Amino acid sequence: GGGGMFGGAGPAATTGMMGGGMLGGAAASPAPAPAAGGIGGGLFGGGMAPFPAPAAAPAASAGFGNMGGGFGLGVSAAPPAPPAPAPAFGGMGGGGGGGLFANKGLGGGLGGPGGAPGLAPGGFKPQMMAAPPPPAKIVKDEQLAKFASKLKLNNPTPGAWMSMFQQLCDQLQTAVVISDMKMPGIPVVYANPAACALTGYPADQMINRNCRFLQGRRTEGAAVRQMTNAIRNAKGVTVKVTNYKKDGTEFGLILSLNPVHDSTGEYRYSIGLQADAAKFKSESATFEKIKALLPTTFEAAAQPKKFDDSLKKVDMEAQRKQWASSIQKFTRLVWSMDWELTLKQFMGHKQTLQAFYEFLKKAAPNEALQLELCMKAGELEKLPPSDQDGAALEMYRAFMGSDPADPTAAFEMIMEQKKQALNVIAIEALPKFVQSKACVPVVEKMTAAAQNKMMKSDDLLWSEYQVPEDVAGWLYAFISVAMTYPACIVISDMTIPGNPMCFVNTEFCRITGYDLREVQGRNCRFLQGPRTEPASVAVIQDTLRRGVDCHVKITNYRKNGENFQNLLTMRPVHDSNGVYRYCIGVQFEITPNDPKLKSRLAKLDKLIQLLPKTFDVSSRAVGQKFTVEEADAEKKASTEEKLMNALEGATEVYTEEKLEDGDHYADHYADHLAHCAKVSGLKTDEQLEAMAKKLSLKASPPGPWLAMFTQLADQIDTAIVVTDMKTPGLPVTYVNKACVKLTGFTESEFVGRNCRFLQGRRTEGAAVRAMTSAIRKADELLVKVTNYRKDKSEFALMLALHPVHDSTGEYRYVIGLQCDATKWSAEQANFEKIRKCLPSHFEAAAQATKFDETLSKVDIEAQRKQWAASLQKFTRLVWSMEWETTLDQFMNEPMAAEAFYNYLKKSSPNEALQLELCMRTRVLESMGPDEKANGALQLCAQYLGIQANDPNAAFSALTAQYQQALSVLAMESLPKFVQSKACLPIVEQLTAGSTDNIQRADGLLWSDYKVPDDVAGWLYSFVSVAMTYPACIVISDMAIPGNPMCFVNHEFCRITGYDLREVHGRNCRFLQGPKTEPASVAVIQDTLRRGVDCHVKITNYRKNGELFQNLLTMRPVHDSNGVYRYCIGVQFEVTPNDPKLKNRLAKLDKLIQLLPKTFEVSSQAVGMTHKRDEVAQEQTMSIEEKIQNALQGATDVYTDEKLEDGDYYADHYKDHLEHCAKVAQAGHALSYAAPVKMPDAGKVGVGGKKGGAFGATRVAPKG
């Protein structure tokens, strides 16, 4: 219509497609009469500007238009219209003449005044639609001319390069297919008649599919590897491969792949020349002749790319709008990082909170009530103290439906309810609200300021990646959120051949061990390796090709060669034109026995729901529209169900995919190490190069040291295992195939376990002692030892242990070389040759430790919070030192006494009555003589049922009952109360003054011990309490090889006779000696390995050589990530005929119940997760029963552990005396009686505002 694309005045219903020109007529003057032309009087109507038409042109003139009826006529219907205002976008105006696209032209009779207001008058000016790629330039192609001449083919009709080449191939009797390397998925774009005859597939069933559809179950993995590598690297290759015809018949195919580049160097096509292997002998000469003549290059202008990069061009305003829209969406992703923190932020934002409340009132009334309680509780906290009591009572009655005991109790209960409600709301209700439409206005308002200016983040992307303009806003917004997200996130560009990762976040690098520059621009298949499951890879390929979500468990490899279980999620992302643009990958490491797996999976589920599936673009389609092919089963299953199925190993494939051989994936890892060597300057290792040369092995490419060593070990026929000395428990980190063959155990059954699992009942104690000593001292050893295969058969093993250190002197690995002793005479020479070639050291930078110290780094605020929480817990431990003293202090603290009394009223009314008597009897002491006398008589009558006449006798009776009641309450009722939830408010109140600043206690710890940041608050608070506790307490760090004691208290030193510096940093096995019972040691080893409580009676030795009976309790302590961090040991000396034994055992029982099993950390996992492997019998027994059994000599072991010879333990005591002599000579001895600097009362430990719990002076040393 008139007016043109961008408005301006134009005639009504002018001739042609766009009337008065593409840019329309002038806005300020009448448009000229329509002129004859291509699209409305010329290609641009009246021209780019309003050129006048010939004077003779009538008002209703005929225009001879290119678009009309195949050069037919288009007729205008009205005289010129008066000038129209210039709209932002002109309307279609009048209809065009009958033409190419409709009977009446493109306009099809849609009339209207020229220059009518357009889509958005005076506002947004939409993008100019990009022109299609320019037509092919017709040039003479010398290679095609030679191809036609030599093969005696008819010359093609001049045209585009592909058209000419296809015309030639149509004449060949040899099968030819062409794949487009510039299109995602590398589809076939041409198949000649010979190819259709060979395979049975018509051309339309081959085109737009990747040639892999011809593969099947018996297609050779080696051939597929060759083809894949050739295509990726633009190399020519000829292979023989098994393929399948349309009717399912199998046939051998001779396939030659030939790359073709354009004149700019772009890799454009791959030509596949095919022949039936059964006929190849007779056809080989023709095949080779055609192959030699195939074109390798062409002029770029002769075959423009189907989708030009210019299609992605959009202006900055479009990018900003896309950015603004994306920021709103990804704000929800930010919120999902920490729902509890997000809820706290919501609570401080009135309008947001109100929107959340209104949503819950409709969707979840119960949660709405919980939120209302939280809101009211927040208001209550802000009230002045003078107004809080009344408000707390009123609120308690409104929400609890009962009367509280007092305002303080009401306030505390409300705060406790608020805490619980916030937790529930954050986990369940808030994520639902954030994902709902009700949250959209909230997001828009909260992100308004961030929407105005797009923040580019090119430094977070692959350095060679050119961000398409039409996705810039979306991509920059997403990666700004994803970079620091606490989950592995990567983005691959699906429009680039090979689908390289243009973005990976820091968590991906941490988990895999790769540097950003080593992975950006690579396909993430480099994570695959020899043990990667073919079925899992098939799931990935299947879902990627269908453009649907992928959830699969797969074995991947870190940079150092270590494999790990990965629950992989992939989310394809299409643009609003339906083009398959990106794929977002989320990796979720699965660790054995993860205690947080369920909650982590729930977070993963919520993250996946927030990942985008599409995004809006303002450009034209930049590629082919992709049809998502989701199977019915996938549509019905929830994300949670899909994740659980994947976790259980489901590998459902909905298309006929080839399950390639697993060893194929070894190439990915090896190839990527070669890439990393170039990028990061990885070097080879001189000792490993020498080893390869002397043993005639294929040298390893540069890479991490362990990866280079294992590549050599894989080639050796002698069994080899590698043990990691920096991982607790000294697990096997590598075994070669020869070791698997020797023992019968698979690699997965080996890796992660200590080699002792090969031992059995007839394994020699002397051999075990020799191995243990060599490993501890980093000595070499050759020993013969009896081991057991997987089938339980016994065999003699020749074992050589070889220590390896890094360049800093750190003891990193032990290499074990193994040989069947029955074959020793024949294999000894080769065994010794290999042994002499083993490396002894490597550069520390060449092999980073598995769990870096940086993982334990947390800020001082996190440490303070941990300190405060731990101090509250350990306050109970202090109270347990002397329950009678603690009860006395409770009686002097009204709030504590009231809480204890209310607890007893519900749980034990008789004891409540006893406490009431005690409290009222204490009040008598402060009364005058007369009041005291009358009070005593009344209390006697009321509580004792005695009508006494003599006040003194009454008071004496009350005092006797008072003492008896205190004893009962202290021994039975008070410990139960202290361990109950009812005591929490008391602990919090009484420790409030001590939790503000963490009090370091380094002076109480092993001088060489570096306290990890993430445990500092917990450890300092515990040792500050434990140092003066009247029981032997030690703490061993289970994350350090050898499990040294980082803390021992004064009581331990007093009982054993050792000085602090003589025992710090040592394993407590030095207490063992010649008379130590092997069965008791077996219990210790068994329980420590399983991470469960140990209770055992054992003979130990003091420093002076004197024996003593020790009832040992050990409590393993895991952090909240499931990592086995510490073990707390409590030693209880058992003396004959101890009259106080029963009483002491009761105290021990209560102490053990107060020892922590876990503690919270705010860090990531700093080690392998460990399952507390408690058997059913242990779960059902009480601590009291376990202690009694241990006291009677029970030594039950629940795993097949070797019971070593008792005389072995003599070494521990003897070795430790030698250590003590060295310490004494160095002048380091510090007597347990030596003074330790103590902090001022009220500053540390459990002190409240009065200087300790209840103002007590029992405060722990600061050090």
Instruction: Return the minimum-mean-pLDDT range out of 85-89, 200-204, 734-738, 1133-1137.
Output: 85-89
pLDDT (0 to 100) of residue 309: 67
Work out the mean pLDDT of the chain and round it to a whole number.
Answer: 79
Residue indicated by tokens 């023992």: 743
pLDDT (0 to 100) of residue 1231: 40
Q: Does this model's pTM top 0.85?
A: no
- Name the pLDDT band for 945 (thresholds 50, 70, 90): confident
- 228 membership: H or E segment, kind and range: helix 221-233
Report how far residue 1101's alpha carbon sits from residue 1063's, in angstroms, rounded to the nearest whole number.
Answer: 13
Q: Are strands 614-615 and 188-191 parallel, antiparallel or unpaired?
A: unpaired
Span 1202-1206, mean pLDDT? 43
Judge whether 1 and 18 are in contact, CB under 8 Å: yes
pLDDT (0 to 100) of residue 994: 59
pLDDT of residue 921 exceeding 90, the answer is no
Span 1125-1150, mean pLDDT? 89
The model's pLDDT over 962-1021, given as tens digits with 9 standing for 90+, comes to 888 888 898 888 888 887 878 877 777 766 655 556 678 888 899 989 899 888 888 988
Task: Name the nearest CA neighbour of 206 among 171, 180, 224.
Answer: 180
Span 87-103, mean pLDDT? 32
pLDDT of residue 33 exceeding 80, the answer is no
pLDDT (0 to 100) of residue 108: 33
The model's pLDDT over 284-318, given as tens digits with 9 standing for 90+, comes to 999 999 999 999 999 998 988 776 666 677 777 77
- Name the pLDDT band for 829 (thresholds 50, 70, 90): very high
pLDDT (0 to 100) of residue 1230: 40
Report how far residue 554's alpha carbon sits from residue 567's, in angstroms, rounded to the nearest whole number.
Answer: 6
Instruction: Return the minimum-mean-pLDDT range out of 57-71, 338-352, 748-762.
Output: 57-71
pLDDT (0 to 100) of residue 621: 81
- Name the pLDDT band for 666 (thresholds 50, 70, 90): low
Quick count: other Cβ atoms within 10 Å of Cβ 1030? 12
pLDDT of residue 1245 exceeding 50, the answer is no
Interacting residues of 173 by C-beta distance below 8 A, sequence separation 6+: 194, 286
Task: Name the nearest CA neighbour of 852 among 1158, 460, 519, 560.
Answer: 560
Q: Which residue has the higher pLDDT, 462 or 85?
A: 462
pLDDT of residue 694 exceeding 80, the answer is yes
Span 1214-1241, mean pLDDT? 55
Give per-residue burial for 844-853: e unless 16+ CB within 10 Å, then b: bebbeebbee
Instruction: Return the minimum-mean-pLDDT range out of 144-148, 597-601, 864-868.
Output: 864-868
The model's pLDDT over 519-575, given as tens digits with 9 standing for 90+, comes to 998 888 889 887 888 889 889 988 988 999 999 999 998 888 888 899 999 999 999
pLDDT of residue 796 exceeding 90, the answer is yes
pLDDT (0 to 100) of residue 268: 92
Span 1240-1254, mean pLDDT? 37
pLDDT (0 to 100) of residue 243: 93
| HEC-encoded secondary structure of 138-156 | CCCCHHHHHHHHHCCCCCC
Quick count: other Cβ atoms within 10 Å of Cβ 686? 11
pLDDT of residue 824 exceeding 90, the answer is yes
- Name the pLDDT band for 931 (thresholds 50, 70, 90): confident
C-alpha dihedral over 779, 783, 786, 790, to 10 degrees? 60
Instruction: Return the minimum-mean-pLDDT range out of 252-256, 1129-1133, 1152-1156.
Output: 1152-1156
Task: Name the nearest CA neighbour of 583 among 481, 478, 506, 455.
Answer: 478
Report how far residue 440's alpha carbon sits from residue 1134's, in angstroms, rounded to the nearest whole number.
Answer: 69
Instruction: Return the minimum-mean-pLDDT range out of 101-110, 619-628, 981-990.
Output: 101-110
Span 1035-1048, mean pLDDT? 87
pLDDT of residue 1229 exceeding 50, the answer is no
Judge whether 766 and 1204 are in contact, CB under 8 Å: no
The model's pLDDT over 397-415, given as tens digits with 9 standing for 90+, comes to 888 888 877 787 888 888 8
pLDDT of residue 111 exceeding 70, the answer is no
